[in-house]
Copies of this chain bind each other. A is one copy, B any other.
Amino acid sequence: MLGKIALEEAWSTPEALASSGLVTSLAPKGVIGPDLVASLLDVHGTRLQQMDANGVDRMVLSLSSPGPQGVADPGQAEALAAAANDCLADEVAKNPARFAGMVSVSMHNPAQAAAEVRRCVVGGGNKGRFVGVIVNDYQSVLVSSKDGDGGGKGKIGMRFYDVGTEYDEFWRAAEELDLPVYIHPREATPEVFDLMWKDRPWLAYSALGYAHRVGMHMLGIVTSGVLDRFPKLKIVIGHMGEHIPYDLYRIDHKLNRARFPNMPMAKDKLVRDYFGTQLFITTSGHFSTPALLCAMQEIGAESIMFSIDYPFESIPNGCVWYDEHVPISNRDLVDIGRNNALRVFSRLREGPHGLKEKGPRECGVGGLGLRKGDEGEVEYGLYNKSWDQRLERR
C-alpha cells in the first residue's frame, strides 16, 4: 500500500541517548537491527530510503524512550525536552513533505509541560511541525526513602498521570491544540524490577512488562475521568493496544459500579465507548493478523492506525505484513494505513504537511492485479507472482 503514515517511530540525539544510557547497553550492534544507535540518529538517509521502498509516505517522529521521563531532576528533564524538540523541529523542517514530529515533555510539572507544548506548537519557528505529544509511561521522580533513612540519596519513584485532577492543565493544553497524546512504554524502576521481574528479566521489556504498565496507565486515565473532563482529548497507545482490546469484555464487565462506586469515570459509559473518538491504538511492533482482526471486532477499524516502531522493528517486515498479508477490505486497509491518522492527528492536514485522505486506488490497493505493473497477477496469483518458482527469500 502506498501512502502509509507511521506514528510510533523513534529518533534520538546523541545527548538524549547519553542521558538515558539504556539503549546502548541493551542493544549491541546486530541484536536489534544492524545498528540500533545509528538508526535512531538517522532521519534522512537509510530511514528515508526504506520509507520509499515500502510505501511509507510520512513518519511522525518522536524522541526515543525514556526521553525526559527518564530524568528524575525536573530542570534537567525540562531542558532535555526543549533541546530535543528544537532539534526535531529542525529535522522536520528539512523535509516536511515526509516527516512530522511529536512534542516531548517533562512531566514533573503539568503547567510547565503545557507551556512546552504551546511553545512548540504555536511558537513562531515551529509552526506546523508538531502534530502530537509523546509521553513515556511514567515520569521518574526522586522520592525520599519510606524508612526515612536520611542517608542522602532517595530512590526513583513512578509518577503516573491519572491521579485525581493533577495533570488537568496538561490535558487541557493537548485538547485545546488538538494534539493527541501518545503513551509510549518504558522500563520499570529498579524497585519494581526487583519485585516483579528480576527472576525473569527477559519478560520485563517489550515481550510483556511494557504492555502491563502502558495498558494500566491508559485504563487509569480513562477510569479516573480524564476523558470525561476533556471530551475532545485523544489518547493513543501502540502495540495493538497493549492487549486491552482482547480483554475489553472482561475489563468493562469487572469494572462493576456496584463494587467500585467511587471510580470517577462517567457512570453511563464503558471503556469500550471511548474507542474511536478518544482512544486509539496502533499496530506498532505487533504484526499479528489474529490480533488485528480481534481488535477490529472489538473497537472497530476507525480506532486503529498503522505504525512500525522503527528502529526497534524492521520497516520491510512491518510493511510486508501490512501490504500483503492482512486480510481486510480495501477501505479498511487504507483507513488504518493512512486516513485514520489524518482524522486523529488533524494537524497532519495543515501547514507544511497538508496531507489528504486517499482512496484505495490512489494507494495502489485493489486486490489482485492492481499493483503497479501487475497485470499478470490476476492470472498467476496474489501470493506469488511467478507461476512456477517460489519467491526467493534473502
Question: A residues touching B (Cβ–Cβ < 8 Å)?
Answer: 26-27, 30-34, 46, 50, 53-54, 145, 147, 149, 158, 160, 162-163, 191-192, 195-196, 199-203, 205-209, 211-212, 215-216, 219-220, 223-224, 239-240, 243, 245-260, 263, 268-270, 272-273, 275-276, 285-291, 293-294, 296-303, 313-321, 324-325, 327-332, 360-361, 366-370, 375-376, 378-394
Closest chain B CB from A114 CB (angstroms): 21
Bound Cα distance from A149 to B148, whole angstroms: 11
Residues of B contacting A158 in the complex (Cβ-Cβ under 8 angstroms): 195
Q: How far is the CB of A139 from the nearest CB of chain B, in Å?
A: 14
Task: Point out the residues of chain B lying under 8 angstroms from A149, CB to CB.
Answer: 147
A285 and B298 alpha carbons, distance in the complex (Å): 17
Asked if A379 meets B216 with Cβ closer than 8 Å, knowing A206-B250, A239-B250, the reply is: no
Q: Of B145, B258, B320, which contacts A31 at CB under 8 A?
A: B258
Contacts of A299 in B (CB 8 A): 329
Shortest distance between the CB of A38 and any CB in chain B (Å): 12
Question: Do A368 and B249 have beta carbons less than 8 Å apart?
Answer: yes
Partner of A290, one of B162, B327, B369: B327
Q: Give the residues in chain B near A332, CB-CB below 8 Å.
A: 300-301
Contact of A379 with B243 in the complex, beta carbons under 8 Å: no
**Copies of this chain held together in the complex:** 4
Expressed in whole angstroms, the minimum distance between the Cβ of A110 and any Cβ of chain B is 16
Q: Closest residue to A276 on the B side, CB-wise?
A: B331
**What would be 10 A-B contacts, judged by CB atoms less than 8 Å apart?**
A26-B259, A162-B199, A203-B220, A249-B291, A255-B378, A293-B293, A294-B294, A301-B301, A317-B382, A389-B394
- The chain B residue with its CB closest to the CB of A390 is B316
Chain B residues, CB < 8 A from A376: 258
Tell whether, in the assembled complex, residue A288 and residue B360 are in contact, meaning their CB atoms are under 8 Å apart.
Answer: no
Does A260 lie within 8 Å of B202, measured CB to CB? yes
How many Å lie between the Cα of A243 and that of B367 in the bound state?
Answer: 18
Chain B hits for A329, CB < 8 A: 275-276, 296-303
B300 near A248: Cβ-Cβ < 8 Å? no
Q: How far is the CA of A370 from the CA of B147 in the complex (A)?
A: 47
Cβ–Cβ contact A383 & B259, under 8 A: no
- Measured in the bound complex, the distance between the Cα atoms of B30 and A51 in whole Å is 36
User: Which chain B residue lies CB-closest to A191?
Assistant: B195
Whole-angstrom distance between the alpha carbons of A288 and B34 in the complex?
35
> Given B26, B216, B249, B328, which contacts A297 in the complex, CB threshold below 8 Å?
B328
CB distance from A306 to the nearest CB of B (A): 14
Chain B positions within 8 Å of A30 at CB level: 258
Contacts of A387 in B (CB 8 A): 33-34, 314, 316-317
| Inter-subunit contact B208/A366 (CB<8 Å) | no
Given contacts A270-B369, A288-B248, A290-B297, contact A388 B316 (CB under 8 A): yes
Q: Which residues from B are CB-within-8-Å of A247?
A: 208, 211, 240, 243, 246, 286, 291
Write the nearest CB–CB distance from A366 to chain B, whole angstroms.
5
Which of chain B's residues have a CB closer than 8 A to the CB of A263? Answer: 202
Task: Give chain B residues whose Cβ lies under 8 Å from the Cβ of A269.
Answer: 366, 370
A260 to B196, CA, bound (A): 18
The reply to whether A207 and B386 contact each other, CB–CB distance below 8 Å, is no
